[in-house]
Amino acid sequence: MIENIWTYGLVALTFAIYIGVAIWSKAGSTKEFYVAGGGVSPLANGMATAADWMSAASFLSMAGIISFSGYIGSQYLMGWTGGYVLLALLLAPYLRKFGKFTVPDFIGERYYSQTARVIAVICALFVSFTYAVGQMKGVGVAFARFLEVKFEVGVGIGIVIVMFYAVLGGMKGITYTQVAQYCVLIFAYLVPAIFISLFVTGNPLPQLGLGGKLADGAWLLDRLDQIHTDLGFKAYTSTDVNRIDMFFVTAALMLGTAGLPHVIVRFFTVPRVKDARKSAGYALVFIAILYTTAPAIAVFAKTNLISEVEGKPYSEAPNWFTDWEHTGLLSFNDLNQDGKIQYYNDQNPQYVRKAEAQGLNGNELTIDPDIIVLANPEMASLPAWVIGLVVAGGLAAALSTAAGLLLVISTSISHDLLKKWLKPDITEKNELWAARISIMVAVIISGIAGINPPGFVAEVVAFAFGLAAASFFPAIVLGIFSSRVNKEGALAGMVVGLAFTASYILYFAVLGYGGPEDYWFGISPKGIGTLGMLLNLVVTLLITYITPAPPEDIKTMVQRIRVPKE
């Protein structure tokens, strides 16, 4: 009961702050709606960018994925962090110098083509919608536990909340709301990690606690390796992985980062180019705080989870276990009717034979990795206020990114399609209404899709990054650094890259045809965006050099963009 009171109180307080900020910063013009009027300070924009960046995938799902996959989960850490560095150093100052609101704006102007703009809009919608689906699942997970309702109901509540402050404030409201959300989410992430690291290893820094010793003198990672192998899994730190797929997934996450519309648009909200560089630096520091903590949380949570439930009578299961059962994201199926919870690797034939000899009939515990961060404080028996704080942080992470993505979707429709193509004489008031209506429709559709996504939050987000890499990355990079690339090449490349990657993801991940043995070169749907990007690049260059060069004014514009001065 005390946990619920703390959770309700902290979530209500943080939501009151978000809604209050949204009302205070209500957008009154399209410039305020799209880019917050271009007057955000570098520090505030750095916080907002970090909140936009650290979505439900980073806060809720990344540690969960690392908990259950071990070493290979580092591909998310390397890909997303490296990708942000690539974006901040290679692209952000140049796109800010260009001075337009959106990525489709850049593509349309740079490649002097309305068709290019429309294709870029389609790419932006594909990427943003896929990403938003993952966020809405994260919102549903957090609300399901917080309100003790079914996951589907949690998603429905999230739809209403996101719709309110995204529709009202636009980028101006979202920016200042995200500043508050960053403060909430980073505090919520660090507090339980510090508590648990101190209790388990005696070291208050989770990053160092990860490599620390337990009270009995054993190394934490050695103990987790032993627990894993005892249950028929590979050692947690085992490097026996598909290195080809790991490389392609890491590259897709990294390159996809550089093409994410909702992150790129953040660099247009500051007054000057040098402010864009400063805010990118601030954001990298803010992001690193969470990303260096995630592996420690993953290890602490996995160790606590197994020690808390494996082999224990179900009748003695801790309260957090039964609470999560109510959400449908954790389940126990007593296959051998002995009343005990058996958790082991029933995909390992050698271990299955051993388990069957002991009267076991299969793994009885099913856990959605997306619950790990939220359940971690409960598993570690931390104070009730810490549990409530983590729920508030998870909601902040999911809602902040969902709002940014939905804004990209609405901007693509109202600004890039309506204003720039279908109805150039539309009034600013009507354009603003079109943007708000677009957000309302987008949040409902993404919420419905988030109820049954094609994977965990981090997996769905990885699909979005792959689509961004395969569609936008070559067009943006070549558009900045090559004055020879023309509209014919860019158009063909984007179409080929997006079509190939989307088809591969649809075939294997969404429709469920085939399995890992059928993957091309062993590349999973999460990593196929890298191959799609290479196809895009090859097609772009081939078509470019057999078609006429761009006009001279476009070449001049490219030269101007490449000198990101005031």
Q: Looking at residue 532, what is its pLDDT?
A: 96
Phi and psi at residue 365, to the nearest 5°: -115, 125
State pLDDT tens for residues 217-275: 889 999 999 999 988 888 999 888 889 999 999 999 899 877 676 677 777 777 777 78
Rounded Cα distance, 261 and 445, in Å: 19
State pLDDT tens for residues 290-346: 899 999 999 999 998 888 888 899 988 888 888 888 888 889 998 888 889 988 888
Most confident of 95-109, 153-167, 449-463, 502-516: 502-516
Rounded Cα distance, 123 and 344, in Å: 42
SS percent in the chain: helix, strand, coil, step 5: 75, 0, 25
Give mean pLDDT, residues 183-201.
Answer: 89
Average pLDDT, the chain: 82
Q: Looking at residue 249, what is its pLDDT?
A: 93
CB 51 within 8 A of CB 179: yes
The amino acid at 435 = A
pLDDT confidence of 36, banded at 50, 70, 90?
very low
Instruction: Tell me the H-state helices in 358-383.
Output: 372-379
pLDDT confidence of 494, banded at 50, 70, 90?
very high
pLDDT confidence of 167, banded at 50, 70, 90?
low
Which residue from 123, 183, 2 is spatially nearest to 475, judged by alpha carbons?
Answer: 123
Give mean pLDDT, residues 377-383.
Answer: 84
Question: What would the two tokens of residue 121 be?
Answer: 């809009």
Q: Looking at residue 165, what is its pLDDT?
A: 60
DSSP state of 414: I
- For the chain, state the CA radius of gyration: 24
Which residue from 546, 530, 528 is spatially nearest to 488, judged by alpha carbons?
Answer: 546
Question: What would the two tokens of residue 544 be?
Answer: 């470019």
Q: Looking at residue 300, what is its pLDDT?
A: 92
Rounded Cα distance, 263 and 91, in Å: 11
CB 31 within 8 A of CB 265: no
Rounded Cα distance, 461 and 454, in Å: 10
Rounded Cα distance, 465 and 130, in Å: 9
Torsion of CA 295, 297, 303, 309, to 10 degrees: -140
Asked if residue 415 has pLDDT above 90, the reply is no
Domains, the chain, ordered by start: 2-302+375-561 (1.20.1730.10)
Most confident of 446-450, 464-468, 533-537: 533-537
Q: Looking at residue 160, what is its pLDDT?
A: 79
The amino acid at 499 = A
User: For 385-396, b where at least 16 C-beta lie within 10 A, e where not — what string?
Assistant: bbbbbbbbbbbb
Whether the model clears a pTM of 0.95, i.e. scores above it, the answer is: no
DSSP state of 523: -
State pLDDT tens for residues 510-547: 788 888 888 998 999 999 999 999 999 999 999 999 99
Q: Which residues pair with 330 in a beta bridge?
A: 367
Helix (H, G, I), strand (E, B) or coil at 335: coil
Residues with Cβ within 8 Å of residue 59, at least 6 apart in sequence: 138, 185, 189, 290, 373, 393, 394, 396, 397, 398
Q: C-alpha distances in angstroms, 248 versus 218, 337, 470, 512, 522? A: 35, 43, 12, 21, 10
Give mean pLDDT, residues 414-427.
Answer: 75
State pLDDT tens for residues 337-371: 888 998 888 888 888 888 788 887 888 898 888 88
Q: Looking at residue 38, what is its pLDDT?
A: 52
Rounded Cα distance, 287 and 251, in Å: 19
Give mean pLDDT, residues 42-61.
Answer: 79
Asked if residue 565 has pLDDT above 70, the reply is no
Helix (H, G, I), strand (E, B) or coil at 276: helix
Rounded Cα distance, 104 and 97, in Å: 15
pLDDT confidence of 37, banded at 50, 70, 90?
very low
The amino acid at 5 = I
Neighbours of 533 (CB within 10 A): 27
